Amino acid sequence: MNHSLPTAIIGGGPVAMAAAAQLVKRNKPFVLFEKGAEVGSSVLSWKHVRMFSPWEFNIDAAAKELLLESGWQSPDKDQLPTGEELVRQYLEPLSNLEQVRPFLKLESTVTAIHRKGLDKMKTAGRENVPFIIEYEQNGNVDRIEASAVIDATGTWLTPNPIGASGNYADGEKQHAEQITYGIPDILGSIRERYSGKNVVVIGSGHSAIQSLTLLHELKLQVPETTIHWVLRKPRVADAFGGGENDGLPARGALGTRAQQYVQNGNVRVHTPFLVYQIKKLDGTSALNLLGSSMGKDYVIDRIDEVIVATGARPDFDFLRELRYTADSSIESVPQLAELIDPNIHSCGTVRPHGETELRQPEKNFYIVGSKSYGRAPTFLLATGYEQVRSVVAALDGDFEAAREVKLHLPETGVCSVSQSLTTDDDSCCGPKPVKLSIKPIPVVSSSSCCGPKIEADTSSCGPSTCS
């Protein structure tokens, strides 16, 4: 293969840009494909959200070196950036560096990647031919050859649907105009969409709690706003995270706030509730959410807006003709699956890992960043930065550097294994687990759609997820 060909980076988020910086530092050619009009386009879809992790954990070391050489001023390492600040103060200046800007292909959607002249069935000579990157830009289809491919496309643009089965609920696509995925700008540009409305948030992770927080602030300003929280978990307490024991205080505070919203009655909880169908009430614009709870039919009626925060999943469609592997349940890189499986671990802290663990059957092809975690919701940017540092070192033939993987991360707080918060095996999540108990909280009984009935839940806090 012609090793003077560039490494193709797919995606334009923080991990993709870190890969570009690592390649620049090693004087290796690259080309980066971003489907949006600027780098960090996916991040800008949650620009109004403040991150859990401070700047210290959000800036890649190689990128920082390049930026400092250009006269860039590093943000306060202890401050928590918003999504917009992450783009404007970090990714945008990085993209404008002369070593980076000429090699960015913006508004370029990669539609297929394959070996030149070969489909995935052909083995002979496979490693000796370049990759072909097919992409659409401004309505035209073009192709570029590459010596290696780093897939850092993430998962944010492929959110999980509402259906408890992992598929779209009946009626979900038909009523898409009243459904939003992710974390909408509730207090900003689309405030009127939610103001004074009957709103359902579906999901139990921190994206769901972020939306609850914004809606709660809106309710304080517009008391007519009604907030429902739908979870599949049997206990709402399982969604509150590590609290003050979380290594990222801002993340722990989110769960604490959610607990307060439930306690003060400003959020009506429906758990466990599995949504199967969304129907429009006759002659109105209101929606009914139909499903089951504890084996019985269950309905939340007269809903104006639905916010879906049920996680995300990787998109493998454009990789069809490459030889890649993914865990059958989590869809993560296989060697990470056992470490991040939320069915086993609640915190998702992963031992330092790099090129060896990320290696795919297709030589010189790697899946990195949040996509390497598949459907697991516990990825941190610093993990992705170390992944691409190791991968780029290996692509440069520096296997010693590739093997010397070091990762400095904050503790994720509470770890649990098999629904228990204590274990003798510290390897489950990395940091030593801590015991956590929280006061009993009122939980809306699933026997009532509006939730006047209250019962106590004395369960301990478990899962902790990361943005």
Q: pLDDT, tens digit, for every residue of 255-288?
A: 677 778 777 888 899 989 999 999 998 778 899 9
DSSP 359: B
Instruction: Please tell me the CATH superfamily of domain 7-157+312-403, with its number.
Output: FAD/NAD(P)-binding domain (3.50.50.60)
Residues 6+ apart with CB under 8 A from 365: 131, 148, 149, 151, 322, 323, 324
**Domain range 176-311+443-457, CATH class:** alpha beta
pLDDT attached to residue 349? 59
Query: Residue 251 above 90 pLDDT?
Result: no
pTM here is: 0.84
Rounded to whole angstroms, how far apart are CA atoms 290 and 21? Answer: 49
Q: Are 215 and 261 in contact (CB under 8 A)?
A: no
pLDDT attached to residue 229? 92
Residues of the chain with CATH 3.50.50.60: 7-157+312-403, 176-311+443-457
Rounded to whole angstroms, how far apart are CA atoms 141 and 149? Answer: 19
Lowest mean pLDDT among 53-67, 199-213, 245-259, 304-318: 245-259
Q: pLDDT, tens digit, for every residue of 89-105?
A: 999 999 999 999 999 99
Q: Are 132 and 116 in contact (CB under 8 A)?
A: yes
Helix (H) or strand (E) holding 85: helix 83-86
61-69 vs 381-395: helix crossing angle, rounded to 10: 80
Distances from the Cα of 291 to the Cα of 28, 96, 167, 174, 228, angstroms: 54, 50, 14, 17, 15
- The answer to whether the bond into 249 is cis (omega within 30° of 0) is no
- Which band of pLDDT confidence, cut at 50, 70 and 90, is reported for residue 351? confident
Rounded to whole angstroms, how far apart are CA atoms 391 and 171? Answer: 43
- Which band of pLDDT confidence, cut at 50, 70 and 90, is reported for residue 252? low
* Average model confidence (pLDDT) across the chain: 84
